[in-house]
Amino acid sequence: MIDHLIACQKDLIAALDARDADAVVAATHALAAAVDALPMDDVMADPEQLAHGMKQAEAARIRVKYLTAWNRQKIDRLAELRGQKSSIIYTAPRK
């Protein structure tokens, strides 16, 4: 099961690296299905596989943050070229 999850993470990272929006959406859905398919009992997975999976998740998170910042810069630059301030400001959701 965890092998499939890691493969889905790899596909997501490849889609993010390719900046292919359709592939990112498909990989995200596949990853969500893989997470849902994980057993809910107390079966222990191989610690090395878990560590690799966590590194993959961190790699995907870093790519998402980078692409978010890159898009934000593009939006700000386009607004600046039009003589406007960027009207979209990201704020963290309130808890």
pLDDT, tens digit (0-9, with 9 covering 90-100), for 40-81:
766 677 889 889 989 999 999 999 999 988 888 888 888 888
Is 90 a domain residue? no
Cα–Cα distance measured from residue 74 to residue 53, given in angstroms and rounded to the nearest whole number: 32
Give this prediction's pTM: 0.71
Q: Can you give the length of the chain in residues?
A: 95
**pLDDT tens string 18-51:** 999 999 999 999 999 998 988 776 667 788 988 9
The three-class DSSP label of residue 90 is coil
Contact 92, 68 (CB under 8 A): no
Is 57 a domain residue? yes
How is residue 76 written in tokens? Answer: 């700000």
**Of 12, 8, 19, 27, nearest to 61 (Cα)?**
12
Is 89 a domain residue? no
Is 11 a domain residue? yes
How many CA atoms does the CB half-sphere of 64 hold within 13 Å?
A: 12
Number of domains in the chain: 1
Is 16 a domain residue? yes
Domain span holding position 50: 2-81
Is 92 a domain residue? no
Quick one: DSSP state of residue 88?
A: -
